[in-house]
Amino acid sequence: AQSVTQLGSHVSVSEGALVLLRCNYSSSVPPYLFWYVQYPNQGLQLLLKYTTGATLVKGINGFEAEFKKSETSFHLTKPSAHMSDAAEYFCAVSSNSGGSNYKLTFGKGTLLTVNP
Amino acid sequence: NAGVTQTPKFRVLKTGQSMTLLCAQDMNHEYMYWYRQDPGMGLRLIHYSVGEGTTAKGEVPDGYNVSRLKKQNFLLGLESAAPSQTSVYFCASSTLREQYFGPGTRLTVT
């Protein structure tokens, strides 16, 4: 069974500061990993994804994440936070094999607050 | 392309009432999903479908039924609503891995 742990249900940063949102996963097979963002009263939007190949993945709005197999992590970063980054962020994992590779398992989410 | 649309956006039900939530996608995706989102719980999969005419149970299926009579539509039904079903419901569709989400339906059961 797959699982996702997001460390910190709420992260607060100042505008211009580094954003680091943590995600650890467990999977018995090589995973596909995703970060989604949810703005208030909206659905989820894909930020970035790791499937195979390069372990540093760049996404929209200046975000990036690095897949570290040895640490089973897929942390999301952005060098300089903007007020518009305030949202809830979800990490998700899907299986890379077998009959369930179309299903995602989500973490509980991290709410990012950006202070002026 | 409208992507994934959900109807209605808001609904208030009394305990015991029934309703159907409609999800439609115009991307010709095979896979469709219904999730519920509750504070601090992330998204939990209720039911999903791997193609027209197929449905399967997810993580929290009790109290819900679904149907996929047409490839583009995925219906979620509540036969007898309970206060525990107060939640925000999201529909998603996908080809194989990347899921596209609708805007959500906020349901309150009193």
- Nearest CA of chain B to the CA of A88: how many Å? 10
Q: Which of A10-24, A72-86, A95-109, B15-29 has the lowest mean pLDDT?
A: A95-109
> Is the previous residue joined to A31 through a cis bond, with omega within 30 degrees of 0?
no
- List pLDDT tens digits, range B55-80: 999 989 999 999 999 999 999 999 99
A-B contacts (CB, under 8 Å) = 50
pLDDT at B17 over 80: yes
CB B53 within 8 A of CB B74: no
pLDDT at B1 over 60: yes
Q: Name the residue facing A94 among B90, B97, B101 (closest C-beta).
A: B97
* Length reported for chain B: 110
- List pLDDT tens digits, range A67-86: 999 999 999 999 999 999 99
Strands (E), chain B: 4-7, 10-13, 19-25, 31-38, 42-49, 56-57, 65-67, 73-78, 87-94, 99-101, 105-109
